[in-house]
């Protein structure tokens, strides 16, 4: 996934919804120690900053230098660029060594990973038996019947432009995502925990979120403007006008577990 989100890094920072604070509190509540956390695919550090409220140190990594340049500073968070060329041993040493990490988090990213490699790294790094790995994502935004129908048609138009086969895990709401860890009551393999992310936004916020989709950027690179004036106008009409501010809900899902011993 190297470079996948470089072109829309600014949009990604501005447009994506935030994750509820109670998610982090619940995760912190099931890790016996709170010395070190690793936020993988951190992007602009959105999740890392909230994790830092509960853990002494957070190592936040990403393959995208453009995203990391926009990362928000925090004295408890250290950001590292981790290109795909890094070896597993180099990554383990960078994060803190084997059996050192109390919490590993992946927000909106694990479906882009080389899963066997990542899970092997997580197994080496997690503190046994108490360390926890949690992955989560969101997909559908629920507004109202009219807007949701238009958005569904738009999403269908983007399908040919999603570059990675593992994106199907996202479309399946992580129900088919391999997750070889012992469940801790916050979603497990085949049975992700369903969550909601309520927020308030204007129409422009929704449009910016859609423009940050990697499929929209990939289509534009190939000469297809999926968010043409006509499409935006149709979405705006269904929204109820550009000035209207609405309460919306992003549907989310999580899996969390410990290394099986």
Q: Does domain 9-139+164-198+250-258 have CATH number 3.40.50.150?
A: yes
pLDDT tens, position by position, 169-182:
999 999 999 999 99
The pTM assigned to this predicted structure is 0.89
Judged by DSSP in three states, 40 sits in strand
Could you give phi then psi for residue 39, rounded to 5 degrees?
-100, 110
Q: Which one has a higher pLDDT value, 229 or 163?
A: 229
Reduced 3-state DSSP string for 55-68 = CCEEEEEECCHHHH
Confidence at 164, pLDDT banded by 50, 70, 90: confident
Using alpha carbons, list the distances in angstroms from residue 146 to 26, 69, 139, 232, 251: 35, 38, 18, 14, 17
Confidence (pLDDT) at 16: 61
The percent helix, strand, coil of the chain (3-state, each to 5) is 40, 25, 40
Under a CB-based contact definition with an 8 Å cutoff, are residues 143 and 248 in contact? Answer: yes
pLDDT tens, position by position, 216-241:
999 999 999 999 999 999 999 999 99
């Amino acid at each position: 996934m190297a470079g996948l989100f470089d072109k829309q890094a600014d949009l990604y920072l501005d447009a994506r919804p935030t994750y509820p604070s109670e998610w982090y509190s619940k995760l912190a509540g099931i890790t016996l120690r709170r010395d070190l956390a690793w936020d993988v695919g951190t992007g602009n550090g959105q999740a890392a900053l909230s994790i830092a409220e509960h853990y002494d140190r957070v190592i936040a990594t990403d393959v995208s230098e453009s995203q990391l340049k926009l990362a928000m500073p925090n004295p408890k968070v250290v950001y590292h660029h981790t290109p795909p060329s890094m070896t597993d041993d180099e990554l383990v040493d960078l994060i803190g060594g084997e059996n050192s990490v109390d919490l590993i988090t992946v927000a909106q990213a694990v479906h882009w990973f080389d899963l066997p490699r990542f899970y092997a790294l997580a197994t080496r790094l997690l503190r046994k038996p108490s360390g926890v790995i949690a992955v989560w994502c969101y997909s559908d935004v629920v507004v109202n019947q009219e807007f949701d129908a238009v958005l569904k048609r738009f999403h269908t138009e983007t399908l040919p432009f999603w570059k990675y086969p593992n994106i199907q895990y996202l479309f399946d709401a992580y129900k088919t995502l391999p997750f070889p860890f012992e469940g801790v009551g916050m979603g497990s393999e085949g049975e992700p925990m369903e969550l909601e992310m309520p927020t308030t936004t204007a129409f422009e916020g929704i449009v910016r979120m859609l423009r940050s989709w990697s499929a929209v950027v990939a289509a534009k690179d190939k000469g297809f403007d999926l968010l043409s004036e006509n499409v935006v106008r149709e979405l705006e009409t269904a929204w109820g006008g550009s000035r209207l501010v609405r309460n919306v809900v992003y549907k989310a899902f999580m899996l969390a577990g410990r290394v099986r011993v």
